[in-house]
Structure 1
């Protein structure tokens, strides 16, 4: 890996180029250049005019090269946080209450949630949506079992399970636009990262990365937000309000053009008085507190929007808020954010490049919180903590996947638009029917998961893939539906046992399907009503159960039940003892 990098931060208003070198554990800024766009070629962090942006980058590059004395051939860039879209979605799935939830059920829920998120965002099928967006991260917010929150679904039983997921997507067009600009300037792509990740590499020290921290980059047009937890950034957001709204309020209050209003705003942090010339050509000198009063409501509104988005993404106030970007220097903003989040004001801070011990050099215009992101892009490139894209083939079709945290077969198939049913195999539908008035469920058979090979070798969903890997998948097969016959539900207590001439006789119950007489071997139809009834016996029924010769006239039939005289119509109960004998008639 090179020990020097050309970091390029292409912003809405400015382009910043930094030549950053690594020396052991420290980094030094060899040179830098800052250039303002002459016209609006960027909107909300996305390139709208490739040629105009490329012309600006080319002039910046040539200026640096003239001082450095050598050609710059590669550049590290970052996608703006405001181009990221975070989608929260919930998916519920019906389950058999007789089977434990396993890891495949959890994966299936996750796949369905992510696919629903990309469909919601793109308005297209998951397969088409993943052609336009990369999923740069997702986080499970909460699991549910039968609508009740639960920590872990695995091993549980229930009729339904659900998951809330927050997923963040990066439009592929953003990446392609950055690459197009570089090509027009004779530059190759060194690496690409996300601006919030670049800023966090400097603004959030390693000892804080496991904390729940909100990083807020307050720029000119938007305020970008990233939330970290357990060592990773799991959610991104943006509010369409930032420094420009404050400048416009100053211009409105004191009749200034935008450039003069911007200059006045930058003076607020370190001056007791500010001097300016309004659009009428009148020179004025006013107290800073007078300007602050004019923008007080706008500052509060900006803080309220930032705090609201943090709470929306994080679900609760974070442990701390770190502000970067030029807008973070606005007096009173830190305190207003803290008040809106209901956290101590000491927990909202501004990170300046001058406070970062491992960054040497800079100064001049490249200082303060404004410099955090461009220098962070270079740090990420030199440390190797950047995003890259790999190409993987699935059954002969190429899929682009973000090479983030070593993608697995599971991630690739998800990006290829494979639904859970084609990866994991869904269980067959359950058989439901009423048995003696009670709902009964016979679960379907488990599905057969997909057979997967990676580069010709058998593989699992959790196996890692690399650039150029070839995945062959024989799609999963659904499980067979639940089936049952009436005899599967005959219990011993459904039978009646009597004794005839000392021999024990078992009398089977009568069975019915939807009111019609049925046999034990009949298959139970779905949504049917099955009845299993004990026999109502009289003595006469015995002769259809046992072999007893009634032919001919030998005399009269002597019948006794439990030792007492009885007739053919005497009712019998379980456990009764019946004695039958012919008595001769003598004439």
Structure 2
């Protein structure tokens, strides 16, 4: 019988905080047992700007999930984003030790550590060191060099960094909410989302993941099965909402409702006779506007977002090298017309990325989540991509760590028996 573990994903976004508790087994199956969401009040563009408000929002979302699951959250895997995120590719090289020149776990650890010796400003913190490929005696494209023979081991890595203060404030907020985490539990959000919505073929061919959140748009480029480039743009769905509120002179709440229910990223897709009812900011007067006029407000902002993504693809050197196209995910990706507009601007085939192979609570009811999206009744939606991805990332880390510990214990027991035999017979 597959062993199960309780894993929690904590998606701290600009507009909402989402907590999902799941049971995970070694075969990769995730069974959701609790979920809670809460409006995010202490963040701006993915960065904590008010710790006390952030703590209250986390406590609210976590409390809902705990009550539903009937368990208490001890630790969690937490997503991080924000314009402070940077990335760089780095190279490391070491000599293989030992008389037989066989690559051991210690050699792999040393070469990855060697890749981390880069010049970083004192205000930057390394969040991830992600191996892209290993090179043994000049032979490239090796995924796992353990057990291979060679004299020279190299690695190409992708290193993700963030501002020290931003990482610390995020960790501090979660810890003050009573959840035990360290900086090792902090996961780059597009990396987490990719765990939920990308398949192996897309990663191998070359694909760009575009996670459109409330305050940021996260980008991750994959090629040959590995992550090659990451970036976070300081613009997202909230900027569309602000444009609508300003253009229609209505409240932010009403603008968000109109965006979700009636928004479209391409105005020409809307018939000229469709209209939208708008409540004035005073709350005392309603009036109607053509729906196409609403979409003419939305389209320039969405075009700007996809144009910025295109610039990042060119900057990274992957223009024309992404045959698997683009995958959109995140709450703001659900708007009508987004796929068509993204495909037009990026010049790539585009699909919507939704989590797969996740089961459990389907007919849940969360007042905050359902406020404008009553049609969301399961976890196979882009809204939950990051939270589900955090669960998958956490499950992989936990079971890998446990297996490594078992292997180490077995080796220690074996060496212990050998030492015992030597003492007994000699």
Work out whether the TM-score is over 0.5. yes
Cα deviation, residue 380, structure 1: 1.4
2:393: which partner in 1? 380
1:176: which partner in 2? 168
Shift in CA distance, 65/301, structure 1 to aligned 2, threshold 3 Å: closer
Structure 1 unmatched ranges of 5 or more? 91-107, 123-127, 141-150, 153-163, 389-587
1:302 aligns with 2:305: yes
Q: Deviations over 1:395-453 (max 9, x none)?
A: xxxxxxxxxxxxxxxxxxxxxxxxxxxxxxxxxxxxxxxxxxxxxxxxxxxxxxxxxxx
Cα deviation, residue 174, structure 1: 3.9
Structure-2 separation of matches of 1:246 and 1:370: 17
1:136 aligns with 2:129: yes
Q: Which has the higher strand share?
A: 1
Cα deviation, residue 309, structure 1: 1.5
Asked if structure 2 preserves the Cα contact closer than 8 Å seen for 1:218 and 1:328, the reply is yes
**SS of the residue 1:31 aligns to:** strand
Q: How does 1:93-492 map to 2 (within 5 A)?
A: 115-116=118-119, 118=120, 122=121, 128=122, 132-134=125-127, 136-137=129-130, 168-189=160-181, 191-268=185-262, 273-280=275-282, 281-317=284-320, 318-319=322-323, 320-343=325-348, 347-353=349-355, 356-362=356-362, 365=369, 367=379, 368-384=381-397
Q: How does 1:40-51 map to 2 (within 5 A)?
A: 41-51=42-52
Q: Deviations over 1:266-313 (max 9, x none)?
A: 012599643221125321234433311233222222221122122222
**SS of the residue 1:220 aligns to:** coil
Structure-1 separation of matches of 2:157 and 2:130: 11
Larger RCO, structures 1/2 (Cα 8 Å, 6+ apart)? 2
Q: Deviations over 1:311-330 (max 9, x none)?
A: 22243142211111111123
Structure-2 separation of matches of 1:387 and 1:316: 35
1:55 aligns with 2:47: no
Structure-1 separation of matches of 2:4 and 2:46: 28
- Residue of structure 2 aligned with 1:29, choices 27, 32, 46: 32
Asked if structure 2 preserves the Cα contact closer than 8 Å seen for 1:79 and 1:174, the reply is no
Structure-1 separation of matches of 2:21 and 2:90: 42
**Cα RMSD over matched residues?**
3.6
Cα deviation, residue 224, structure 1: 0.9
Q: Which has the higher helix share?
A: 2
Shift in CA distance, 310/359, structure 1 to aligned 2, threshold 3 Å: farther
Structure 2 unmatched ranges of 5 or more? 92-110, 134-139, 142-155, 265-269, 370-375, 402-426
Asked if structure 1 preserves the Cα contact closer than 8 Å seen for 2:209 and 2:326, the reply is yes
Asked if structure 1 preserves the Cα contact closer than 8 Å seen for 2:306 and 2:346, the reply is no
Shift in CA distance, 387/197, structure 1 to aligned 2, threshold 3 Å: farther
Structure-2 separation of matches of 1:198 and 1:263: 28
Shift in CA distance, 245/62, structure 1 to aligned 2, threshold 3 Å: closer
Question: TM-score, normalised to structure 1's length?
Answer: 0.50
Structure-2 separation of matches of 1:323 and 1:87: 23
Segment drifting more, 76-85 vs 301-310 = 76-85
Asked if structure 2 preserves the Cα contact closer than 8 Å seen for 1:300 and 1:333, the reply is no
Q: Deviations over 1:128-162 (max 9, x none)?
A: 577x445634879xxxxxxxxxx99xxxxxxxxxx
Cα deviation, residue 81, structure 1: 6.1
Asked if structure 2 preserves the Cα contact closer than 8 Å seen for 1:275 and 1:283, the reply is yes
Asked if structure 2 preserves the Cα contact closer than 8 Å seen for 1:217 and 1:325, the reply is yes
Structure-1 separation of matches of 2:350 and 2:123: 38
Shift in CA distance, 248/47, structure 1 to aligned 2, threshold 3 Å: closer
Cα deviation, residue 53, structure 1: 1.5
Asked if structure 1 preserves the Cα contact closer than 8 Å seen for 2:127 and 2:187, the reply is no
**SS of the residue 2:30 aligns to:** strand
**SS of the residue 2:63 aligns to:** helix
Q: Deviations over 1:9-45 (max 9, x none)?
A: 11122111111122544222212111013x4x22332
1:5 aligns with 2:18: no
**SS of the residue 2:54 aligns to:** helix
Cα deviation, residue 360, structure 1: 4.3
Shift in CA distance, 332/114, structure 1 to aligned 2, threshold 3 Å: farther
Number of equivalences: 334
Asked if structure 1 preserves the Cα contact closer than 8 Å seen for 2:82 and 2:234, the reply is no
Structure-2 separation of matches of 1:134 and 1:10: 16
